[in-house]
Amino acid sequence: MVESPPRQPALPRISALQRAWLEELGLDAPLLAPGLVPDDPPTVPSGRAARTGEATARVEDAGDHFIDVGPRHRAQRVGGHSAGADSRQRGGAEGEAWPRAAPAGELETLRRQVEQCRACGLCEGRSHAVFGEGVARAPDWMVVGEAPGDCDDRSGRPFQGEAGALLANMLSAVGIVADDQVYATNLVKCRPLGNRPPLPEEIAACLPYLRQQVVLLAPRLILAVGRVAAQTLTGSQSTLSQLRGRVHAFESPDGRQIPLVVTHHPASLLLQPQHKLDAWRDLVLARRAVR
């Protein structure tokens, strides 16, 4: 009897635009080859247009759902950026009005408290407290990292440097436009010296600020990057790989349940690029959670 060769499973298809973004992310051909194949020739916008979402595009998440990525309105930004009036109401999952974020003044008051905070020893080594920055009213995504690094401490801004650039690329790979949709901050607002993870007592001292930021900003979704942020915000000691791949709920102090997705920290992805595909899947999950 002649044995027929084993059937190859059908490969999920991706668009050329998506492929261009994935390549920008560093998910290159050898990594993509086992799981993904392009479905049309690479005649898509790349570079700035692709990164900013200026072109209307569709991102297919290697399955049967599409996420529409069209040009977005400009939202109010704070933290080194202009902070004008913004009265938008966000639509929730069923089209209900998303709770309005607090007036910008309250966030600025909290920022000043953080800048003067001496609740833990990290204040001794800081050049700047890094409060956070981005869309201040009901951002689509609130990205929460671990702690500021050296560049962040010098500039007073979160996610500067190479890891921050990768994070921005990761977001744009799923059609999230950082300038229009994201607020970025950390569990702790002051840099731990020597780039060590923050200690539990430092996190505990700083967490009330983050919780207050959640109330004032009213994000639609929280993305926790890295193990420490993931464990702290889920209240679980499970590993990052156990926490990934599902949507958790973060209970905001005002009683709102905010969808929470966890993923790898961009700094760890720079060292372990083999996890980038998982990170991209996490961001697709997050994108779906608050469509």
- Which residues of this protein are in contact with ligand URA, per CB under 6 A? 145-149, 152, 158-159, 163, 186, 267
CA–CA gap between residue 228 and residue 279 (Å, rounded)? 16
* Least Cβ distance, residue 34 to ligand URA (angstroms): 30
Residue with tokens 């780039």: 195
* Least Cβ distance, residue 49 to ligand URA (angstroms): 27
Nearer to ligand URA, 20 or 240 (CB): 240
In the DSSP assignment, the letter for residue 161 is H
| Nearest residue to the partner ligand URA, using Cβ | 145
The CB density around residue 115, as the number of other CB atoms within 10 Å, is 16
Nearer to ligand URA, 134 or 149 (CB): 149
Nearer to ligand URA, 59 or 205 (CB): 205
- Rg of the chain's alpha carbons, rounded to an integer? 20
Q: Tell me, letter by letter, the H, E, C secondary structure of 178-202.
A: HHHHEEEEECCCCCCHHHCCCCHHH
Nearer to ligand URA, 146 or 180 (CB): 146
Nearer to ligand URA, 158 or 175 (CB): 158
Half-sphere exposure of 156 (CA within 13 A, CB side): 11
CA–CA gap between residue 5 and residue 12 (Å, rounded)? 21
Nearer to ligand URA, 18 or 186 (CB): 186
* Least Cβ distance, residue 19 to ligand URA (angstroms): 28
- Give the CA angle between residues 285, 258, 141 to the nearest 5°: 60
* Least Cβ distance, residue 43 to ligand URA (angstroms): 36
* Least Cβ distance, residue 62 to ligand URA (angstroms): 28
Nearer to ligand URA, 53 or 226 (CB): 226
Decide the pairing of beta strands 182-186 and 133-135.
Answer: antiparallel
* Least Cβ distance, residue 187 to ligand URA (angstroms): 8
Q: Are 258 and 250 in contact (CB under 8 A)?
A: yes
* Least Cβ distance, residue 145 to ligand URA (angstroms): 3
**Helices vs strands, H then E, count in the chain:** 12, 13
Return the C-alpha torsion angle 38, 44, 49, 53, nearest 10.
-60
